[in-house]
Amino acid sequence: MSQPKRKEETIGRETKGDEAIAYTFKELEIKEIFSSYTLPSFLAERLKQYEININYTSNAREAVMLADSFAREYNTLGVVLQSPGVYLTEAIDIIAQAFMDSVPLLLVSTLRSYRDTGRSRIAELKNQDDLMNILAPITKMRERVVSIEEIIITIEKGYKEALSNRNRPVYIEIAEDLFRLKAYPLSPAEQKPEKKTPDKTTVAKVAEILSNSKSLVIIAGYGVLASNSFTELKELAELLDAPVIATFRSKGVLPASHPLYAGEGLGLFATEEGGRLLDEADLILALGTRFTQLSTAGWSMKFKGYLVHNNVDGEDIGKVFIPQMPVVADTGLFLKELLTQLKAKIKEPVKRGSADKIKIYRKIHILDSHGGLWPYDVVRVIQQFKFDKIFIDLTAPTIDFVRLPIEKPFSWITSESLLERNIAVSGIVRAPNNKILGITDLQGVMQNLSIIQNRLNKSRGVLLILNDNGSTTIDAISSDIPTISRTTSNLDIKDEILEKSLNAKTIQSVNELKMELENLDENKLNVLNIKIEPDYKSVMF
């Protein structure tokens, strides 16, 4: 390809397409990527030359799963490099869940050719736009690169878009023709992720309302975590003596041991203290939440107070509850400005006696008499052990874990969209030590059996299978309010299959579970097949 007229606008040397990709990753400080074994060796060597670590997987689906898990755990960008790109169709469900959960993924793939498409090449769809069209509803941006000059600035643009405002997956495809050609790539444009700044007049009104409130409640959604503003949230809660209720996905945003933490969930899924405080509130400050069906128990939340709703995406404000005061802004920037204005008004922390109310209203869960294991029995046992991170698929037999106390941000990783069971397995197979816990059900294990088997000897930590043999499911069809319903048939997977294929240990009592957790093998993945009574009762429903 021809050299641009102004050489000073380029990186200053001719490169092939593979080097341009590696150079860009290095410039963007991307140190880890995920790729399947179909990645060409010359491209792998180039990445190694630029000190980019490649996490190899058996297929594209696994690569996207692990990138998604990586992004959720570290609140950063998950990068996938897939060649050929058509195999990303294996991971449509994972990408869709990342899109719904606001997880930033950079999906870089290869297109067989941009010059002579439609010749039925190996791993080529009918035409060059088909994969982009398939990914269109579940990606924030899609770009195709057909010249080496554009590789750097296009990948950089994708990086910026994935991390700007509401994080989401982006897709970039690079024609394989460029791996055989040389040209001068344009220099990085130093594009930085953008965050919506709050309107200061609006923030001033919110500060005035908050300072005059008599019974304030804060609802902290995942946006507080995504914007890394949990420190500001704690400062705000303590300044205003305001109880904090977390959504299911934002557990850890305030330590469960903090006196102002009023539990997680809203409506029929609220804790006793959370529900009562919300009912009494004259003002609700909702931060970074979409009021999902799961966290609100089918939008059953009842309140009388004035609603201030903040979200980085204006489309999510007013869809469920109409706020008196909408605030479209990055949650972190909003909280920083709000604290600045409040501190100018309030010289001493407000005293409302919120911590005492939380103590008075709080109730201890008492289970009915029962034989065998119920999910909450397992929760109580796990509560006695310390884990650094918990990756969990919220399903019928695992949802009681929502009541597990969480002390740190990003030590609880889950999804509220429930599109796919992949989080527990993808988190645990990357586990570097035995202090990582994955929690799923039988279906979650069977769907991802191959990736567990492939990494069984490389992974650490504990994988809990809450095994009711697939006899229950979360029902959101009969009513908007989710319930647990019994399935008409079960999975009928014998314990011996899990024991042989995963070296799983079958657990049938509380004492057995305690004993296994006390005697974990630190050098392997400990898989515990916990037999749950099919007729169990949940503390959530």
- Comparing 108-117, 147-156, 248-257, which segment has the lowest mean pLDDT? 108-117
**What local confidence, expressed as pLDDT, does residue 2 receive?**
45
Token pair belonging to 433: 């030590």
**What local confidence, expressed as pLDDT, does residue 254 receive?**
98
**In this structure, are residues 326 and 316 in contact, taking their beta carbons and an 8 Å threshold?**
no
Confidence band, pLDDT 50/70/90 cuts, at residue 489? confident
pLDDT digits 0-9 by tens, 86-135: 999 999 999 999 999 999 999 999 998 877 666 777 878 888 889 999 99
- Measured distance CA(278)–CA(274) in Å, rounded: 6
Judged against a pLDDT cut of 60, whether residue 196 lies above it is answered with yes
Judged against a pLDDT cut of 60, whether residue 284 lies above it is answered with yes
Judged against a pLDDT cut of 70, whether residue 3 lies above it is answered with no
**In this structure, are residues 485 and 438 in contact, taking their beta carbons and an 8 Å threshold?**
no
Task: Give the pLDDT mean for 444-454.
Answer: 94
- Comparing 43-57, 87-101, 250-264, 478-492, which segment has the lowest mean pLDDT? 478-492
Cα Dmax for the chain: 81
Average pLDDT of the chain is: 94
Contacts of 463 (CB under 8 A, 6+ apart): 424, 425, 428, 437, 438, 439, 440, 445, 452, 525, 526, 527, 528
User: What angle do the packed helices 354-361 and 272-280 form, to 10 degrees?
Assistant: 130
Q: What 3 state SS string does 300-336 have?
A: CCCCCCEEEEEECCHHHCCCCCCCCEEEECCHHHHHH
- Measured distance CA(136)–CA(495) in Å, rounded: 41
Tell me if residue 35 falls in helix, strand or coil: strand
Judged against a pLDDT cut of 90, whether residue 421 lies above it is answered with yes
Scan for tokens 């650490």, then name that residue. Answer: 460
> How big is the CA angle at 515 (ends 511 and 516), to the nearest 5 degrees?
120
Judged against a pLDDT cut of 50, whether residue 502 lies above it is answered with yes
Judged against a pLDDT cut of 50, whether residue 1 lies above it is answered with no
Q: What 3 state SS string does 188-221 have?
A: CCCCCCCCCCCCHHHHHHHHHHHHHCCCEEEEEC
**What local confidence, expressed as pLDDT, does residue 117 receive?**
61
Task: Give the pLDDT mean for 416-445.
Answer: 95
- Measured distance CA(489)–CA(469) in Å, rounded: 9
Q: What 3 state SS string does 228-257 have?
A: CCHHHHHHHHHHHCCCEEECHHHCCCCCCC
According to DSSP, residue 512 is labeled H
**In this structure, are residues 225 and 410 in contact, taking their beta carbons and an 8 Å threshold?**
yes
Tell me if residue 116 falls in helix, strand or coil: coil
pLDDT digits 0-9 by tens, 309-339: 999 999 999 999 999 999 999 999 999 999 9
- Measured distance CA(58)–CA(524) in Å, rounded: 20
Task: Give the pLDDT mean for 281-307.
Answer: 96
